[in-house]
Amino acid sequence: MDMIPSQHNCLLSSELRRKLDYKEGKKEDGHLVVEIMRRRFSPALITNKSWESFHFVGHQIKITEATDCYGAVVWPSALVLCYFLETNSKQYSLVDKNVIEIGAGTGLVSIVASLLGAYVTATDLPEVLGNLQYNILQNTKMKCKHQPQVKELSWGVDLEKNFPWSSCQFDYIMAADVVYYHPFLDELLLTFDHLCKDNTVILWAMRFRLDKENQFVGRFQELFDLEVLSDFPSLNITLYKAMRKSRKEV
C-alpha cells in the first residue's frame, strides 16, 4: 500500500530530527572529547616496546601495550570511563569501595580506580594477565591506599568456583569496551549477572559499532536498569550506569 503524504512527511521529519540531533550532539561533545583525549600522550621516541602515557588523578600513568590482541591496547572507552571517575569522584566516591573490572586489558581503568582509593580486582583472560600485572604494579606500587589484585576471569567459566556468589560483595563493576564482535556475549551477560548484587553499581563505557551491540543492550536491560550518564556521538561511545532489577521484575 502506498504511504499517504502526511505519513511520509512525518517519517521524513522524524529522520531529519534524528540526523540533526546527532550532528548537534557531535558539536556539543567536541570540546569534552578534546579534553578527554588530551589525557593521552604518545612517546616522542620510538622504542622496542609500544607504550603510551596518560594523566589522571594527578599521576602520570605509563601503559605498555601490544598489538597482537584486543586486550593489550587502550581503547577510547577506557579514557571516557577514567575521566568520569576522576571528575565525579565525590558523587561516585571509590574510597575503600570494593571494585572489580572485567576485561581490564592494559589496566588503565583499574589503575585510576586504585589511585582513587578503591580495593580493586582487575580481571581478564590468562594471555593478558602478564602485561596487565606489569602495568598495574608499575603504576600503583607505593602510590595507592590499597594495592590492587590481578585475577583470571574467563567470562562464564567457573564463576562460582573463582568468585563465590555468597562471598563476593562488589560495590562497583567497571567495564570499558567489553562488547564488540566476539562470540562470548552470552557469557559476558552471565558474568555481569553473577558478580552483581542488588546494591552493586555497574559503570560501563561502550562503543557502538554493529547491530550486535544494540541487541546486547536490549538483553542487558532485561536484567538491569540502565541509565545514560554521558553520550559522545563523535566517538560512538555511551557511558552507562546500571543496577540489578528487582527479583520480582525479572
Pairing label, strands 119-124, 40-41? unpaired
Q: Are 238 and 179 in contact (CB under 8 A)?
A: no
Q: Which pLDDT value is given to residue 45?
A: 53
Q: Are 216 and 246 in contact (CB under 8 A)?
A: no
Q: Which of 17-21, 30-34, 201-205 has the highest mean pLDDT?
A: 201-205
What pTM does this model have? 0.85
Mean pLDDT of the chain: 85
Q: By C-alpha distance, which of 52, 58, 42, 110 is closest to 81?
A: 110
Handedness of CA 40, 26, 102, 229 (dihedral sign): positive
- 249 in a structural domain: no
Amino acid at 51: W
The pLDDT tens digits for 148-183 are 999 999 999 999 999 999 999 999 999 999 987 667
- 250 in a structural domain: no
- 1 in a structural domain: no
DSSP 146-181: S--EEEE--TTSSHHHHS-TTT---SEEEEES--SS
Quote the number of domains for the chain.
1
Categorize the per-residue pLDDT at 30 as very low, low, confident or very high, splitting at 50, 70 and 90: confident
* Mean pLDDT lowest among 63-77, 115-129, 139-153: 63-77
Q: Which pLDDT value is given to residue 250?
A: 52
Q: Which pLDDT value is given to residue 180?
A: 77
The pLDDT tens digits for 98-132 are 999 999 999 999 999 999 999 999 999 999 999 99
228 CB-side CA count, 13 A: 7
* CA atoms of 42 and 47, how far apart (whole Å): 12
Exposure class string for 80-98: b at 16+ Cβ within 10 A, else e? bbbbbbbeeeeebebeebb
- 23 in a structural domain: yes
- 86 in a structural domain: yes
Categorize the per-residue pLDDT at 243 as very low, low, confident or very high, splitting at 50, 70 and 90: very high
Nearest-Å Rg of the Cα atoms of the chain is 20
**Which residues form the domain of 211?**
8-244
Whether 73 shows a pLDDT value over 70: the answer reads yes
Q: Which pLDDT value is given to residue 179?
A: 87
Q: Which pLDDT value is given to residue 154?
A: 95
- Residue % of the chain over a pLDDT of 90: 66
- 76 in a structural domain: yes
Average pLDDT of the residues in 198-209: 93
Average pLDDT of the residues in 197-219: 87
* CA atoms of 146 and 151, how far apart (whole Å): 16
For position 178, which CATH number holds? 3.40.50.150
Whether 247 shows a pLDDT value over 60: the answer reads no
Q: Which pLDDT value is given to residue 11?
A: 37
Helix or strand run (H / E) with residue 29: helix 5-37
- 2 in a structural domain: no
* CA atoms of 172 and 203, how far apart (whole Å): 7
Pairing label, strands 119-124, 149-152? parallel
Q: Are 79 and 105 in contact (CB under 8 A)?
A: no
